[in-house]
Structure 1
Amino acid sequence: MTTTDLPVLIVGAGPTGLTLGCELARRGIECLVVDKAAALFLGSRGKGLQPRTLEVFDDLGLIDAVVANGAPFPSFRMYADTQVKWTRTVHEMLGIAPLEREQGVPYPNTWILPQWRTDELLRDRLLDLGGRLELNTELLDFVQDDTGVTATLRRDGALVRMRARYLVGTDGGGSVVRKTLGVGFEGETFETERTLIGDVKAAGLTGTYCHMLTTGNVRERFSLWSMPGTDYYQFIANMTADDVPELTLEAVQKILDERSGRSDIRLLDLNWISVYRVNVRMVDRFRVGRAFLAGDAAHVHSSSGGQGLNTSVQDAYNLGWKLAAVLAGGPDRLLDTYEAERFPIAARVLDVTTRSHRRDFRDAEPGQGSLDIFQLKVNYRGGPLAVETRATPGAVRAGDRAPDAQCGDSRLFDLFRGTHFTVLGFGAATAEAVAEIVRVHGDRVRGRVLEPGEVDETASTVGAAFRNYDIDPSGPGTLVLVRPDGYIGVVATDLAPIQDFLTSW
Structure 2
Amino acid sequence: MRILVVGSGPVGLMFCAKLSREGHECVLIERHDFNQTFSRASTLQPATLELLSEFACWPELLAQGEVVSDVMSWNLERSTQQRSSYDALSAQTRFPYRLHLHQAALRAELIAELQASRCCCLVDKADAVALQFDRCNQGVSVRVNRFGSSGLSQTFQGDYLILCDGARSVLRDQLGLRFEGYDLPTPVVRLSVPMIPDSLQGQLAGVSYVQSEGGSVSCLKMTDGWRFVLRPRLSELRQALAGTAWARQRLAGVFRDCVPAQWWESIPAMRDSYRVAQRCVKTRQVQRVFLLGDVAHVTNTRGGLNMNFGLIEAYALASCFLNHPDWQALQHWNLTWSRLTQDALMARTQQLLAGRTPRFLRSSSESFGALMRASLLDLLSYSKSLRR
* TM-score, with length taken from structure 2: 0.82
CA distance in 2, matches of 1:359, 1:251: 18
Tell me what 1:152 maps to: 143
Residue number in structure 2 paired with 1:108: 96
Q: Which residue of 2 aligns with 1:99?
A: 89
The structure-2 alpha-carbon separation of the partners of 1:40 and 1:88, relative to structure 1 and needing over 3 Å to count, comes to farther
Contact 1:7/1:29 (CA < 8 Å) preserved in 2? yes
Superposition deviation, residue 325 in structure 1:
3.8
Any stretches of 5+ residues in structure 2 without a counterpart? none
Partner of residue 177 from structure 1, selected from 166, 171, 174: 171
Aligned position for 2:374: 373
CA distances 1:374-393 after superposition (whole Å, capped 9, x unpaired): 222127xxxxxxxxxxxxxx
Does 2:18 align with 1:29? no
Could you tell me which residue of structure 1 aligns to residue 53 of structure 2?
58
Deviation at 1:359, TM superposition (A): 6.7
User: By how many angstroms is 1:311 displaced?
Assistant: 0.5
Q: How do 1:245-324 and structure 2 match up within 5 A?
A: 245-261=240-256, 262-263=260-261, 264-266=263-265, 268-271=267-270, 273-277=272-276, 279-324=277-322
**Match for 2:11: what amino acid?**
T
Aligned-pair CA distance for 1:283 = 0.6
C-alpha distance in 2 between matches for 1:187 and 1:14:
23
8 Å contact kept, 1:218–1:361: no
- Greater relative contact order: 1 or 2 (C-alpha under 8 angstroms, separation 6 or more)? 2
Alignment correspondent of 2:231 = 238
Letter of the 1:281 partner, please give it: R
* Structure 2 match to 1:357: 353
The answer to whether structure 1 residue 195 and structure 2 residue 188 are counterparts is yes
**Aligned twin of 2:161:** 167
**What is the TM-score with the length of structure 1 in the denominator?**
0.65
Distance 1:90 1:41, change over 3 A: farther
Cα displacement string for residues 317-344 of structure 1 (whole angstroms, at most 9, x for unaligned residues): 1111223444xxx423322222122112
In the TM superposition, residue 224 of structure 1 has moved relative to its aligned partner by 3.8
Deviation for aligned residue 1:312: 0.7
Q: Larger deviation: 59-68 or 346-355?
A: 59-68
Q: 1:196 touches 1:274 (CA, 8 Å); kept in 2?
A: yes
Please tell me the root mean square deviation across aligned C-alpha atoms, in Å. 3.2
Q: CA deviation at 1:86?
A: 4.1
1:26-75: CA deviation from partner (whole Å, max 9, x where unpaired): 12222122222235553442222111111111223333222212232254
Amino acid at match of 2:22: R
Q: Which structure has more helix as a fraction of its residues? A: 2
CA deviations 1:472-501 (Å, max 9, x no partner) are xxxxxxxxxx5416xxxxxxxxxxxxxxxx
Counterparts of residues 399-478 of structure 1 (less than 5 Å): none
Q: What SS class does the counterpart of residue 156 from structure 2 fall into?
A: strand
Distance 1:273 1:185 in 2: 25
Alignment size in residue pairs? 366
Cα gap change, 1:267 to 1:87, in 2 (>3 Å)? farther
The structure number with the bigger radius of gyration is 1
How many angstroms apart in 2 are the aligned matches of 1:345 and 1:43?
Answer: 29
Paired residues of 2:161 and 2:288 also in contact (CA < 8 A): yes
Q: Distance in 1 between matches of 2:209 and 2:374?
A: 24
Shift of 1:293: 0.4
Give how far 1:368 is off: 7.6
Letter in 2 for 1:377: D
Give deviations 1:267-306, integer Å, cap 9, x for gaps.
Answer: 65545612313x1121111011111100111111111243
| 2:23 match: secondary structure | coil
Answer yes or no: is the 8 Å Cα contact 1:204–1:265 preserved in 2. no
